[in-house]
């Protein structure tokens, strides 16, 4: 168990809808990263937050947004969903410089858009 | 821009043999970490090994070791005495410790261990 919790584990929704994915980082971790992994693809970096502030942005669509709350949990909002948004969405956390070197991953949320 | 490249989409190895997975990266930063993650069919991301860029000594974790060539920006993973449980996707990753602290991944290498 990595200590990173993602909910829900599975999500099936229709095109055009909006969903929210939730991530609780390891206790004390300040950094949260979101990744998208399409079928048989690598991990595409979406966005990173550090202690509530957006720190880095990757190839995140304008239809997607994220935030990190004061209790450090994070949410990824996906709107106007398309079939191509079907993927495994990972959240990872780390303690930041000086504490941990690697990112610890949650189990992922599998999103299916029908 | 920072990039991570894995030039071997698929590899296979006989059980008990040794295999090396390649990774090259590009960054202008001097302070960074490199990782190999394993993703078995369960899709869980599991850290295999880490390397700090400022350390010249290559990291080793049991049957896993790396060949870190900083000047060449190369970071290969060697798996010795391959086991069936090593069958997985392997991702090379780069974490930069600048103000933006980004972690980016290569496209992955699918490794199959053959009995």
**What is the overall mean pLDDT for chain B?**
93
Looking at beta carbons, which residues of chain A come within 8 Å of B44? 105, 107-108
Beta bridge mates, A1: none
Instruction: Please state, in angstroms and rounded to a whole number, the distance separating the CA atoms of residues A7 and A20.
Output: 9
**3-class DSSP assignment, residue A85:** helix
Half-sphere exposure of A27 (CA within 13 A, CB side): 1
Chain CA centroid to CA B46, Å: 11
Nearest-Cα residue of chain A relative to residue B44: A107
Strands A74-78 and A19-24: antiparallel
Please write the tens of the pLDDT for every residue from B23-33: 999 998 888 99
Half-sphere exposure of B9 (CA within 13 A, CB side): 3
Of B33, B97, B105, the CB nearest to A43: B105
Stretch A10-34: mean pLDDT: 95
- Whether A97 sits inside 8 A of B103 (CB atoms) is no
Please write the tens of the pLDDT for every residue from A63-78: 999 999 999 999 999 9
Give me the DSSP letters along A30-69.
Answer: -EEEEEEE-TT--PEEEEEEETTEEEEE-S--TTEEEEE-
- Whether A45 sits inside 8 A of B104 (CB atoms) is yes
Q: What angle do CA A7, A111, A87 make, to 5 degrees?
A: 120
Say if residue A87's pLDDT is above 60. Answer: yes
Chain CA centroid to CA B52, Å: 13
Residue A96: what pLDDT? 56
**3-class DSSP assignment, residue B76:** strand
Say if residue A54's pLDDT is above 70. Answer: yes
From the CA atom positions of chain A, what is the Rg in Å? 13
């Amino acid at each position: 168990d990595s200590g990173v919790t993602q909910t829900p584990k599975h999500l099936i929704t229709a095109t055009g809808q909006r969903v929210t994915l939730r991530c609780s980082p390891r206790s004390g971790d300040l950094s949260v990263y979101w990744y998208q992994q399409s079928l048989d693809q690598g991990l595409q970096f979406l966005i990173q937050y550090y202690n509530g502030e957006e720190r880095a942005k990757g190839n995140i669509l304008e239809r997607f947004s994220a935030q990190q709350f004061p209790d450090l949990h994070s949410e990824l909002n996906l709107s106007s969903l398309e079939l191509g948004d079907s993927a495994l969405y990972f959240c990872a956390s780390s303690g930041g410089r000086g504490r941990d070197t690697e990112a610890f991953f949650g189990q992922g949320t599998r999103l299916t858009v029908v | 821009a920072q990039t991570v490249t894995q030039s071997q989409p698929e590899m296979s190895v006989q059980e008990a043999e040794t295999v090396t997975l390649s990774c090259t990266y590009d960054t202008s930063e001097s302070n960074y970490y490199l990782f190999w993650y394993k993703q078995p069919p369960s899709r869980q991301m599991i850290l295999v090994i880490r390397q700090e860029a400022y350390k010249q000594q290559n990291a080793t974790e049991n049957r896993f070791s790396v060949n870190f060539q900083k000047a060449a920006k190369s970071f290969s993973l060697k798996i010795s005495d391959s086991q069936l449980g090593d069958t997985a996707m392997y991702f090379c990753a780069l974490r930069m410790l600048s103000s933006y602290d980004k972690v980016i991944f290569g496209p992955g290498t699918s490794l199959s261990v053959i009995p």
